[in-house]
Structure 1
Amino acid sequence: MSEKVLNKRTRIKISWRGLLAIIIFLLPFWMLVVWFFLPGRKLLIAIVDKTVVEYPGQEHLSLHWVLNQEKFLKNNTERYEPDKDYFGFFPLEDEKYKLKGLERFDSTQLQKLSVDADAAYITDAYGVFRNEWFKQGNIQDRSGIVYGGMSKQDIYFLELMKQKNKLIITEFNSIGSPTDPVIRNKFEQTFGIKWSGWIGRYFESFDTTINKELPTWLINNYKRSHNDQWPFKKGGVAFINAENDLVVILESGKHLKTDLPYIYASQEGIEHYGMPEKIKYSFWFDIVNIDPKVNHVVSDFRIDVNEAGQTELNQYKIPATFPAITTHINKDYRFFYFSADFCDNPISLSSSYFKGVSLFKWMMYTEREPLERKSFFWRLYRPLVTTILNDYYDSIKENQ
């Protein structure tokens, strides 16, 4: 083969590589341009978050990411702003704050809001406590509440939204402690869900010399009913009964075949909502029972216990499998309950400005770290909530 032909082929090869490099270099720019020129879609969502201790509010940031990526607007021209567009606790400087929850509205104002709003999403009603806000004492100790719990105005607003056949999304912790039992009972009767009183979480280590973020109250409550002993060194799952402070520990190896809880999707979850067949979950969750005549389960939590772990769960009547995503979709109303802190994920809003960024989700997280929660956002929360909101928006347009 002549040197001339070889040089030509080399130039072609180099030019293709150069072209590919240019495409890769310019791709983010074009993704941003495409996102920018996509038309916005008005979908007014009343977002309630009572657990914002600093900006941006991580407890509702995942929702704002989806709203921004999908170009949902709060009116005909304005995008949602995560530090402004919610009802709840607003942190200020020097330990000051403002309360802008639904509690300041009377029944007439709540009626008007239920007419104006297309949907409601309670991302977190747990609230803010004195130790974490005023930085007094150990932040891991329990202290008096500054603001939190579902209020009578919150539940009244949700009832109005249900009557108007609108979308309602709630998640842990909406009805658990510190919500008043009377309000919780009203929620349970309204939406066909019953809280068991149990909450739980995976901890990478129960060794108090290693894990300084272990809640002091968790350790003290366990020791109170176990002869002042805390014998755990490995990681595992802690269950807490919020009604009597009873603590049950399942330790890795001793009680668990698999360290972390996993969420398993139904066929509907996989095919319609784009969820993975299974995914680990390392943060707070609660255990609820559902009325199958009203709701159905889209995905389950599963705790992979051995014989000793099953015996421990049986002793306290804790199920190893329980609902993760519960839904009611009918002509009367649309309702979802996520049995965990689904919306609380360590993500950045900046990636939401690039159309098609989910195609590169594999670059956004690593599966190597057991507590890594970004993968949960990209693989489950983003497709799930994106589908819920797009389905609902399309149904509104069909009925107009």
Structure 2
Amino acid sequence: MKKIIVALILLLLILSPRIYWQIKEERVLDIVVIDKSVAKKDYREHKGFFHILDSKKIIRADGEFYDLGRDYYGFDPYDQVAMTPFRARLADLIYVADTYGVFSDDLKKSPEGERSELIYGGMELLEWNELMASRDENTTLIAEFNSFASPTSDEVSGIMQKSLGVNWSGWVGRHFTDLSSDEVPQWLIDSYQQQTGDDWILAGAGLAFVHTSGQVVVLDGQQTKSAARFKLTTMGEKKFPKVNASSYIYWFDVVEPVGETKVYATYEFDLTEKGRSVLHDAGIPEKFPAVLHQESKNTYYFAGDYADFDMQPLVKWQGVHNFYKYFAKDVSAFYWLTYFPMMEAILEETVERKDGEPSEG
């Protein structure tokens, strides 16, 4: 009998996070998600955000959970057509996850990574105006890379940057674990070879920057020693006390704050003297903002592809990220250590503004 009781107690302890999640209160938020880069049926460009909505039991006004395959505006990977465009309505939170779009190469069974014809993508002025018309003083607006870069027009990009309180330098970049692997897109290799006249014989970890002018800067293992390091500023530590520093290995853009925009986190790189010289000659800073916030306008800009997450974790367990973060590596480490707790805090903040009182999360 004692063994049975002990077993039941252990089972209850193991299942308690799931039980707690099941009985905890659901919270309603009207959320608008824009993702124009859904070429495949994995929805990875906004998948990470929807996992957090499930974990926090954030639901739609009709009482249903948000469906990552339905509750967004962008491209339909099944019919391979643009979905019905968003039309203005008052929202609690707007998340522009990606507007890069879908290209003909993306629709191939095995994409080659080459530049190809744009099928659908870019932010249109009418769409942006519809989003801006959906806000009041309590609406949270979040945008992340790529929201206003190519193929969005320069005019619309400038308007978006002004609304978000940032200024884009024209540079984007990414860390690659192996410069000789297939993860390096063919268009990047072609641009490098055309610019330098050299063959692409690079191997090992490295860092690549690409400018809107076409200029390419590549740092190999002799010039950079690690991926970008996401690090909170002093203001960021106060704003997000549960967010941890981590390595970030996806695409990012090089931006700077405008006016009263606050910088809550930065990217830093472990560069050799030669690496510093290469960046300096190209006009690329060694350290630049990762998370920016306009407090008066309630906007956030993430200078990276943060919601992009291609895993299917168990999220309907209370405090699940506290478990995953101890075992996370590489891309998942950034998600569990950094992005997940940061979005938890922003969602709680949004709920509080909507309800007019602190939420119990």
Could you state the TM-score of these two structures normalised by the residue count of structure 1?
0.83
Q: Using a 3 Å threshold, how does the CA distance of structure 1 residues 203 and 244 change in structure 2: closer, same or farther?
A: same
SS at match of 2:82: strand
| Among 339, 350, 354, the residue aligned to 1:392 | 350
- Bigger-Rg structure (1/2): 1
SS at match of 2:333: helix
Match of residue 7 from structure 1: none
Distance in 1 between the 2:99 and 2:281 partners? 31
Q: Using a 3 Å threshold, how does the CA distance of structure 1 residues 362 and 322 change in structure 2: closer, same or farther?
A: closer
1:380 lines up with 2:338 in the alignment: yes
Match of residue 299 from structure 2: 335
Deviation at 1:165? 4.6
CA contact under 8 A between 1:47 and 1:85: conserved in structure 2? Answer: yes
Match of residue 199 from structure 1: 172
Cα RMSD after superposing both structures? 2.3
Deviation at 1:30? 3.0
Distance in 2 between the 1:25 and 1:172 partners? 43
| Among 346, 360, 372, the residue aligned to 2:323 | 360
Q: How does 1:239-254 map to 2 (within 5 A)?
A: 239-241=209-211, 243-252=212-221, 254=222
Match of residue 120 from structure 1: 94
Deviation at 1:20? 6.0
| Among 125, 148, 158, the residue aligned to 1:152 | 125
Consecutive unaligned residues of structure 1, counting only runs of 5 or more, are: 1-10
Q: Whose helix fraction is larger, Structure 1's or Structure 2's?
A: 1
Distance in 1 between the 2:278 and 2:169 partners? 17
Q: Using a 3 Å threshold, how does the CA distance of structure 1 residues 344 and 274 change in structure 2: closer, same or farther?
A: farther
| Among 65, 70, 85, the residue aligned to 1:84 | 70
1:228 lines up with 2:228 in the alignment: no
1:33 lines up with 2:19 in the alignment: yes
Amino acid at match of 1:100: M
SS at match of 1:178: coil
Match of residue 286 from structure 2: 320
Deviation at 1:213? 2.6
Deviation at 1:276? 4.5
Amino acid at match of 2:223: H
Distance in 2 between the 1:387 and 1:89 partners? 29
Q: Count how many residue pairs are aligned between Structure 1 and Structure 2.
A: 358
Answer with 36-45 or 265-274: which moved more. 265-274
CA contact under 8 A between 2:244 and 2:337: conserved in structure 1? Answer: no
SS at match of 1:353: coil
Q: Using a 3 Å threshold, how does the CA distance of structure 1 residues 23 and 62 change in structure 2: closer, same or farther?
A: farther
| Among 96, 99, 116, the residue aligned to 2:82 | 99
Consecutive unaligned residues of structure 2, counting only runs of 5 or more, are: none
Distance in 2 between the 1:189 and 1:323 partners? 16
CA contact under 8 A between 2:176 and 2:183: conserved in structure 1? Answer: no
Distance in 2 between the 1:40 and 1:276 partners? 24
Q: Using a 3 Å threshold, how does the CA distance of structure 1 residues 267 and 245 change in structure 2: closer, same or farther?
A: same
Distance in 1 between the 2:46 and 2:6 partners? 38
Distance in 2 between the 1:42 and 1:264 partners? 32
Residue-by-residue CA offset, 1:46-98 (whole Å, 9 max, x unaligned): 01111112334111111111111111111141111111111111111xxx323
Residue-by-residue CA offset, 1:94-139 (whole Å, 9 max, x unaligned): xx3232253xx5xxx42xx1x2x21100111111110111448x52
Answer with 216-225 or 23-32: which moved more. 23-32
1:66 lines up with 2:52 in the alignment: yes
Distance in 2 between the 1:339 and 1:275 partners? 20
Identity value in percent? 28
Distance in 1 between the 2:66 and 2:193 partners? 46
Residue-by-residue CA offset, 1:304-331 (whole Å, 9 max, x unaligned): 212111110111100110000000123x
Q: Using a 3 Å threshold, how does the CA distance of structure 1 residues 180 and 33 change in structure 2: closer, same or farther?
A: same
Distance in 2 between the 1:193 and 1:20 partners? 57
Could you state the TM-score of these two structures normalised by the residue count of structure 2?
0.92
